[in-house]
């Protein structure tokens, strides 16, 4: 009997020790991408924002280099990022004393139409708070769309218990990372990644291959219809930016030519109509040029149409050139070439950063 008690006590102590380690030392074992997210959270905590922020998904996280822009900027886009995560980041930004004057928003069509990695990354990595999760629960009930909030249940538990598990960082949620990363084997590598991401103002790469001809999800979409919950949050983001007088510029990241050739006209048309409706509703919101530009396959580093280093440099240089002037004030300006020549040939028209004094 005493032996069983000792075994039980030992198990409890071991479990508690692992729990303390998970809470105190996530950089020691978490997935490498966590370190990049941690860097973004660090900049948010410091209110180290600058004049512009980037909100969006992984394509923007990889393809927009803040250090190449003509003013101090911070890339807050994240892998799998949707309007929910954009709102979580923006809420933190709006608590800072010095607010940005521009928000660059870039979310691909797929991240308006289906849930992605909210629980596995956004919650698990600590990018959204318990308050954000409670707000999502309320918004899901209001819109009648539980596709994100109800989309992940651990062990079939009720949503309230699942939320509690994530809030207290219940160890089983992190066992897979600990299994692959060991207790401390990833610490040095993650610290290096975090330092690089801080130096790059939040930008980090997903793939660095010298090209990809794989058709990404955009090329497999039959149509475009935003989920009610994601539409609710996109509206909330634009409303908050408009309320604070912050210019909001929607800039679509390019896809590879293989994907661009497969995109259905209906997807482009409905995506444009969706964003145009918001342009009419919010004076500070503008859409820049082609919504689904396609670039040569060689400028993409993986199968998800993430720009590789060469592609990111080209895109950021083109974006920087256009941001020298104020964002377009009308829909016509946005559609008539403001951001239409961002393809590979555009680099010849862009004055190098080093020659512009930025």
Does residue 5 sit within a domain? no
Q: Which two tokens mark 27?
A: 């950089």
Q: Containing domain of residue 271, as a range?
A: 27-355
Does residue 2 sit within a domain? no
More confident residue, 77 or 153: 77
Does residue 4 sit within a domain? no
Entry pTM: 0.87
Domain total for the chain?
1
Give the Cα separation of 157 and 281 in Å (integer). Answer: 41
Four-point Cα dihedral 342, 345, 351, 353, nearest 10 = 70
Q: What are phi and psi of 44, to 5 degrees?
A: -65, -45
Does residue 14 sit within a domain? no
CB atoms under 10 Å from CB of 155, counted, come to 8
13-67 residue pLDDT tens: 777 877 887 888 899 889 999 999 999 999 999 999 999 999 999 999 999 999 9
Does residue 15 sit within a domain? no
Does residue 158 sit within a domain? yes
Detail the DSSP E strand segments found in 18-139: 52-56, 73-75, 102-106
Does residue 99 sit within a domain? yes
Helices 228-243 & 265-281 angle (0-180, nearest 10) = 40
What's the Cα-to-Cα distance from 158 to each of 153, 165, 174, 357, rounded to whole Å? 7, 11, 19, 56
101-155 residue pLDDT tens: 999 999 999 999 999 889 999 999 999 999 999 999 999 999 999 999 998 765 5
Does residue 1 sit within a domain? no
Contacts of residue 155, defined as CB under 8 A and 6 or more positions apart, other chains included, come to none
């Amino acid at each position: 009997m005493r032996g069983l008690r000792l075994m039980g006590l030992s198990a409890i102590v071991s479990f508690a020790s692992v729990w303390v380690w998970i809470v105190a030392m996530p950089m020691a074992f978490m997935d490498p991408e966590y370190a990049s997210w941690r860097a973004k959270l660090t900049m948010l905590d410091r209110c180290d924002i600058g004049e512009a922020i980037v909100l969006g998904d992984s394509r923007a996280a990889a393809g927009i280099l803040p250090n190449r822009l003509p003013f101090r900027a911070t890339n807050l886009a994240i892998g799998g990022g949707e309007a929910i995560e954009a709102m979580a980041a923006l809420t933190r930004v709006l608590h800072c004393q010095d607010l940005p004057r521009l928000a660059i928003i870039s979310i691909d069509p797929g991240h308006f139409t289906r849930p992605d990695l909210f629980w596995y990354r956004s919650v698990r990595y600590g990018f959204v708070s318990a308050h954000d999760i409670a707000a999502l629960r309320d918004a899901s009930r209001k819109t009648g769309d539980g596709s994100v909030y109800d989309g992940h249940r651990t062990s079939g538990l009720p949503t309230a218990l699942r939320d509690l598990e994530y809030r207290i960082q219940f160890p089983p949620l992190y066992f897979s990372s600990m299994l692959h990363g060991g207790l401390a084997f990833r610490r040095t590598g993650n610290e290096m990644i975090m330092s690089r991401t801080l130096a790059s103002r939040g930008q980090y790469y997903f793939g660095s291959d010298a090209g990809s001809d794989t058709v990404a999800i955009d090329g497999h979409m039959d149509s475009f219809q935003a989920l009610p919950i994601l539409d609710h949050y996109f509206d909330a983001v634009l409303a908050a930016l408009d309320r604070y007088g912050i210019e909001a510029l929607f800039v679509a990241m390019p896809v590879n030519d293989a994907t661009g050739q497969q995109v259905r006209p209906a997807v482009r048309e409905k995506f444009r109509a969706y964003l145009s409706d918001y342009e009419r509703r919010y004076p500070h919101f503008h859409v820049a040029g082609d919504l689904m530009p396609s670039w040569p396959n060689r400028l993409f580093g993986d199968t998800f149409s993430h720009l590789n280093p060469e592609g990111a440099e080209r895109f950021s240089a083109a974006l920087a050139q256009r941001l020298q002037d104020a964002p377009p004030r009308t829909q016509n300006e946005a559609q008539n070439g403001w951001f239409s020549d961002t393809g590979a040939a555009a680099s010849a028209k862009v004055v190098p950063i080093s020659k512009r004094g930025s």
